[in-house]
Structure formats: structure tokens, C-alpha cells
Structure 1
Amino acid sequence: MKSKWFKNTSYSIPTKNHVWFWLGYFAFNVIRWGSYFDDYWYSLKSNLVEFPLHIILVYFNIYFLLPKYILRKKYKTYIVIFILSLFVIYILRTELNYFLVTKNIWPEAETVQEAFTFNHIVAVILGEVYVVALATAIKLIFDWTYERRRVENLEQIQLRTELNFLKSQIQPHFFFNTLNNLYALTLVKSDAAPSVVLKLSDIMQYVLYDVKEPKIRLFTAINYIQNYLDLERLRYGDNIQSTTDIIGNIEDIEVPPLLFLPFIENCFKHGTKDNSTIEVFISFENIEDKWLIFKVENTFNELALLKETNKKHGIGIKNVKRRLELLFKNNFEFHNTIKEQKYCIQLKIPIE
């Protein structure tokens, strides 16, 4: 049974990659030192002795010392144990080389050197530190890459979750009121009933299905907004006055789904008041095929706006900003202001 201390909680590199790394490093070292000494047989024997010790020290450092001490900020303990480990490896390596490979324990030195001298200890330990540092750096690079991908995946999951959350915020009472109005139209056999059914169907398709797509055409999103406005007119009649301006070419622009509709819904959350007129102005502007500017202005009910601001649940400006951050990082501009008794939203996003 594997000890819990050796359990790696980060990215797990496949075993075959470990094998290929050590085989490649071993072959490189044999050729390098064989060429240096002009004695490939000696290089092969010495590396066969030393590499198992390299491997033991490397994995001891990566899978035991780092998780147990470095990640727990026990730096002094780590340094002490690592230094002791280096001296143990030094003794084993020196003795094994002496008895199995050569009596000259340091053939690369210019003069004959004895074991356990300061120079020999420093040379061997620096060699071990080099191997440990190289292998640990490679492992940390893999871990960093894995962690970056994991964070990106979590952001995508969070984005999808928030999209679903925003989808759920299209108020159920909107659908119920529309259905009630539709029921009233069918009772009097109004010619408007089929049109209402189609528009409601389009809105429900958008909210339930199209939201799963990463991007939709801007023209399609605007069409859904118009259907939404038409259905709200069914509720409020002539009390709704809306204008939609499109400036520039929007034919090929794609945008994330449900990006604009929550702002339109807020117009009616904040603007509704008994027998009052709701004025809504919507604008989409293409700036040099680089930026899309979305504006919406509506007359508002101050009390309704205050209640919405104080809510602990709901879409809210903070939630919308968070979604924009996930979608566009810092590459967007968002402003909401109140001027001349109108609530104004301006959103500037890049055109992809």
C-alpha cells in the first residue's frame, strides 16, 4: 500500500514519460562522460551506479519533501533533511563507485583526490543538486501547466454555471403573464394569438436552448430582444415606447448568448409603475469592426430600482460584471449611470 506521504496531489505524469526521461538522460550522460574520458565502458558503469541514486533522491524530493515541508512552509526542516539526504547519497555513491567501478573516485580531477575531502564532497553534492533541480523544474513546469488548464476549465465551468443562472433569471412571471394574455386572446379568437405563440416560442428557445451555444449572431440576439419587447407590449399596451438603432454593419458579428437580454428585462423591472409610460432606447454600434457598443436607456421607477439594488438575490450589476470578466477578461468597458430621470447602460466589447 502506497504511503499517504508519497501521494502526489498535483499533475500525474504518465509512467512511460518518466521512463523515457531517465533513459534519455542516462544515454546523454554516458555519451557525454564517455567522450570526456574517452572511456565509454567506464562511463556506462559509473552511470549505472549513480543513476539509481539520482532517481531515489529526485523522487524523494519531489513526492515527499516538497509536499510535506515546502507546501506546509516548513522551510528550515526541508533544508536540514535535504542536506542530510545529500550526504547520505554522497556516501552511498562514493562507496559503490569505489567497490564496483574504480578505485580512483574522482578521475576528472587534475590530480589524484581522496574521498571524503571538501572538494570531492562539494563536487558530488553540486552534481546531485543539479540533477534534482533539473528534474524538479520539469515537474513544476508540468504542474504549472496542468494547474493553469485546471483553472481555465474551472472558469469555463463557472461561466456556464453563471450563464445558466442568468437564464433562470428571465422571470417566470413574464412567461405566466404572457400565457395569461395569450389565453385571453384565444377566448376572443384574436388574430394576434398565433403571432404571440411564435414570439413566445422563440424566446423560450433562446432561453432554454440557444444559451448552450458559445456564440450566436448579433442579428439573432436583436431579433430575440424585439420579440421580448413585443410580448411586453402585450402586457402594458401603449404604455411602452421603444426605439432600436443599429449603427454600422452587424451582419457578421457574433456575441455570447443572453448578454443583452437581462439589461432589457431590467428596463421593465425598474420602469414599471401603474399607468406610467416606459420609454426604452436601445442602440448597437459597430466601431471600425473592432468594438461593439451596446446602449440601453429607460425611464425608471426609483422605488423599484432601490429594491432591486438592495436584493440579495437576482442578476444584479455585480453578477453581470462578473460574467463580462469571465467572457472578456479586462477587455471591455461597462458603465451604468442615472441622468435626466433615465437609467443608462453602456457596454463596449471587442468584436471577434
Structure 2
Amino acid sequence: MKKQKIYTITGHALYWLLFFLFDWLAMSGRIGKFESRADFTTALINFVAAAGFAYGSIYWFRLNWFREQYLRLGIGVFIIALFAGFLKHALRTYFLYLPMLNTHIQDVASWANYWKPRYVTGSIVWTVLQASLILVFYFFDLWVRQLRQIEKAKREKVEAELELLKSQVEPHFIFNTLNNIYYLAQKSHPNTGEMIYRLAQLLSFMLYDSRKSLIPIEKEMDYIRDYVNLERIRYGEKLDISFNEFGVVKDILAPPLLLLPLIENAFKHGIAPVGAGWIRVDVSRRDSTLVCKVENSMSLEAKPLANLEKSGLGLSNLSSRLEALFPENHELKTLHSKESFLAVLSIPI
């Protein structure tokens, strides 16, 4: 038996014990053995009727609510209330009212008088009211548990989406880098071996650090520097790239692989095939926000802005990840001209 089930059963048992004791003790201020026994019997009958209505309603609710049979549910609960009220009235008649007719209370009317509609209706209403508190507790607990399940399902969905998006980032990056290595190998470039070594370093990062939910932003910056060095080997001295950090960013933790797509996009659309062009990366901290600006020159072969997202997974993938990680709490802006393209990413720290 699970702990939660044990807690639930214990809580219900404690409630009904307190319910019975309160009902009994509240009526037991009278003097005399007969009256004391009558109070005990009355409290016991009230307990049986209220508990019967409460758990009968709960059972019927669980049987019909999740199947969306609402009319059947309402009719069933109404019938259970009538049955519990009539049962309570019948038990009180047999164990309390009839004995009064044969004892010292001589002015008690016949038992039929006790079954007038107003008395029966009172028994039904009081049974429902006495059971209402446990029903409120039950539905509140059910509501809380459903909220937790919904939140858990949302969390698992987001995590699954993030893993899928990460798995798209890595092959995309490896594909681009292998293309670069192939390009150099075709020319028998002396730096081909170094590129393979640096690619291995980057794959090590992807196998370990990228699997974590948060990493120091400095690690991602080191990762990007290795990536840039790979591109430097390919393009040589014609590539002009600068990194700038403003404020203390080393202690910032952020999800991995958020900045890389901006850098990849800059290389893909800002650097000409011959390697001429420039890229500027600014990372800064503004209170509780991390801001990354990536600006690059536009090569003559660059595609129009409208086709940027269609040209690869980079920016569209990043946009999806940001929406999953920071829904309505992030900003990704782009600004382009004939000479340059600027991407600005802002995420909460």
C-alpha cells in the first residue's frame, strides 16, 4: 500500500472519529442513563447515514464523472441522498422513536406522525450537510492531485520537446563541421587534423555538458570559441571575429546550446565562401537578464531574411527551445540591412 493511500485512509478515519465524538459529546449534556444511550445511538446513526451518503456519492462520482455522464451522475447522487436520509430516519424511528412510545414519555405522538414529509426532508437535508465537509475535502484533494498531474505532464512534455530539439541541434552542428573538414580534406589542407581534434573536443562537450539542464555560461562561451577556432582554420586570416563580455557573466547558469545557433547563423549567412566578413559577439548581464548580441556582415551570397528560418534548423529550433524553456519570458529579436544582420537574445537568469 502506497504512503499516500495510507495517509488518505488515516485522514478519513480520523475525520469520522472526530465527527462521531463531536456529535455524541455535543448531545450528551443530559442526565440519565437512557438519555446518554440515546445520544450515543443518535450519533452512531448520524455517522452511518453521513458516511454512507459521502462514500456512495464519491463512488458514483468516480464511476460517471470521468466518462462525462453528468446527468446520470446528478440523478444518482440525488437518489443516494434520498436513500441515506430515509435510512437515517428509519433507524432513528426503530432505535429511538418507537422505544419512546413504550417508556416514560407518554405524550409522544404515534410513529406515523414522525414520518411526516417535513421530518423526513429534515433527515435528508441534515445527512447531506453532515457529509458535506468530507466531500469538500475529497474534491479539493482530487483537484490538487489533478493539478499536480497536469503540471507533471506539462513538465514531461517540455522535457521531451527539449530533448528532441537538442538532438536536432547536435546532428545539425556535426553535419556542418564535417562538411567543413571535408572541404579542407579535398584541398589537402594541413590543418585538417587539427579540425578533427577540435571537433572531438566539441563532441565531448555535447556528450556530457549539453545533457545537463543548466551549465555555466562561461562553458558555453568556451565551446563557442572552439567552434570559432574551427572556422578560423577553415577561413584563415580573412575572418574577423570579436568576443566581448560586459559585467560578471561567469557565474551565470543557463540551459546549454542556446547561444550556438546565433553563431552558426552568423557564419552561415554572414561569411562569404572565400571567408571574408566579420562577426561581433557581445554577452552582457543586465540585472537579472542575460543578453547576447550577435552581429555579422552580410555576404553577397546571403539569402534574404524571409528565407533565413527556412534555410536551416538554427533560428527556428532556437525559437522553439526558448518557448519551451522560458514561455513569455524571453526575447529574440532580429534586425537586418544590406550590410549587416543583428540577432539579440534576452533570457532571465
TM-score when normalising by structure 1: 0.78
Alignment correspondent of 1:173: 175
Counterpart amino acid of residue 60 in structure 1 = G
Q: Report what 1:137 is aligned to.
A: 136
Choose 151-160 or 19-28, whichever is displaced more: 151-160
SS in 2 for 1:120: helix
Q: Which runs of 5+ in 1 are unaligned?
A: 1-11, 106-110
The CA distance in 2 between the partners of 1:147 and 1:272, in whole Å, is 52
SS at match of 1:331: coil
Q: Which residue of 1 aligns with 2:309?
A: 309
2:279 aligns to what? Answer: 280
Residue equivalent to 2:222: 223
Question: By how many angstroms is 1:280 displaced?
Answer: 1.9
The equivalent residue for 1:348 is 346
Number of matched pairs = 328
The residue correspondences of 1:197-216 to structure 2 (distance < 5 A) are: 197-216=196-215
Distance (whole Å) between structure 2 residues aligned to residue 42 and residue 269 of structure 1: 89
The answer to whether 1:57 aligns with 2:53 is yes
- Within the candidate set 13, 18, 23, 1:23 is matched to 13
Counterpart code for 1:27: L
Q: In the TM superposition, what is the alpha-carbon distance from 1:47 to its structure 2 partner? A: 3.9
AA matched with 1:34:
W
**Equivalences for residues 1-352 of structure 1 within 5 A:** 14-38=4-28, 41-65=37-61, 68-69=64-65, 72=68, 74-75=70-71, 77-101=72-96, 103=98, 115-167=114-166, 168-170=168-170, 171=172, 172-180=174-182, 190=190, 195-271=194-270, 273-275=272-274, 277-288=276-287, 290-300=288-298, 302-303=302-303, 305-310=305-310, 314-317=313-316, 319-351=317-349
Deviation at residue 345 of structure 1 after TM alignment: 1.8
**Residues 221 and 98 (structure 1), Cα distance of their counterparts in 2 relative to 1, 3 Å cut:** same
Cα distance between partner residues in 2 of 1:236 and 1:52? 85
Q: CA deviation at 1:215?
A: 1.0
> TM-score with structure 2 length normalisation?
0.78
Q: Within 1, Cα distance between the matches of 2:64 and 2:236?
A: 69
In structure 1, what is the Cα distance between the partners aligned to 2:326 and 2:12?
42
Deviates more, 1:319-328 or 1:247-256: 319-328
Kept in 2: contact 1:26–1:47 (CA 8 A): no
Which segment is superposed worse, 153-162 or 87-96? 153-162
2-side partners of 1:295 and 1:230: how far apart? 19
- Percent same amino acid at aligned positions? 21
1:46 aligned partner, one-letter code: T
Q: Which has the larger radius of gyration?
A: 2
Instruction: Indicate the SS of the match to 2:273.
Output: coil
Q: Which moved more, 1:244-253 or 1:47-56?
A: 47-56
Give the root-mean-square deviation of aligned CA atoms.
3.5
In structure 2, the CA distance between the partners of 1:38 and 1:133, relative to structure 1 (3 Å rule), is closer
Give structure 2 stretches of 5+ with no counterpart: 30-35, 101-106
The structure that is helix-richer by fraction is: 2
Residues 157 and 33 (structure 1), Cα distance of their counterparts in 2 relative to 1, 3 Å cut: closer
Distance 1:99 1:135 in 2: 27
Change (3 A) 1:294 1:209: same
Q: 1:314 to 1:184 in 2, by over 3 A?
A: closer
